[in-house]
Amino acid sequence: MKTSLASVALFCLALLFGCATPYAGNGLLGGYSDTALAPDVYRISFQGNGFTSPERAQDFAILHAADLTLSHGYHYFGIINQTEGGSSGAINMPGQSYTYANAQAYGNTVYGTATTTYIPGATIPVFYPRSGLMIRCFGARPEGAFALDAAFVSRSLREKYHIK
């Protein structure tokens, strides 16, 4: 019975909040944000919701790094620093009780029985993944340093998540 209550709770939450965090700027459901630290250096973060996998949060941070690189006229980016983590929480579902009653009348007398069934509440653990990057952008592939092709990364991750 606990399993079905938890399933119903997760289904209702999915309908209420949608599914995983979309690839979009930071909002009610999470998303990405960035800060320019120098003309070619950016700090990027992506915050997922409870339906977002850590892999998706990391991929979307990298996708935003690629898009940011391209939007500023660069072609390559290198990851200077990367952080992964998140926060944990819980959704508490209330318990429920049902009472079934039966009454029978004989003349001026009523006889009855009642049975109450209690289904305890459930606590559903939730993890909100977070991914952070610090990147440096380059116009040409730098020699002696690792750099990712921003156009390739953007195309590859958009294909993986069916993003236009």
- What are the tens digits of pLDDT across the range 107-132? 999 999 999 999 999 999 999 999 99
State how far the Cα of 98 lies from the Cα of 62, in Å rounded to an integer.
Answer: 50
**144 domain residue, yes or no:** yes
Residue 112 lies in a domain: no
pLDDT digits (tens, 9 = 90+) for 43-64: 999 999 999 999 999 999 999 9
For 3-43, the pLDDT digits (tens) are: 555 555 555 555 444 578 899 999 888 999 999 999 999 99
- Could you tell me what percentage of the chain is helix, strand and coil, using 3-state DSSP and rounding each to the nearest 5? 30, 45, 25
> Inter-axis angle of helices 150-161 and 54-71, to 10 degrees?
140
Let me know if residue 10 belongs to a domain: yes
Under DSSP, is residue 8 helix (H, G, I), strand (E, B) or coil? helix
With H, G, I as helix, E, B as strand and everything else as coil, classify residue 38: strand
What's the total number of domains in the chain? 1
Q: Within a domain: residue 103?
A: no
* Structural domain for 19, as ranges: 2-92+123-161
Please give the C-alpha separations between residue 54 and each of 3, 61, 79, 125, 157, in angstroms, as whole numbers. 25, 11, 18, 15, 15
Report if residue 105 sits inside a domain.
no
Per the domain annotation, does 106 fall within a domain? Answer: no
Domain membership flag for residue 98: no
Domain annotation covers residue 13 = yes
Average pLDDT, the chain: 91
Q: pTM for the whole thing?
A: 0.76
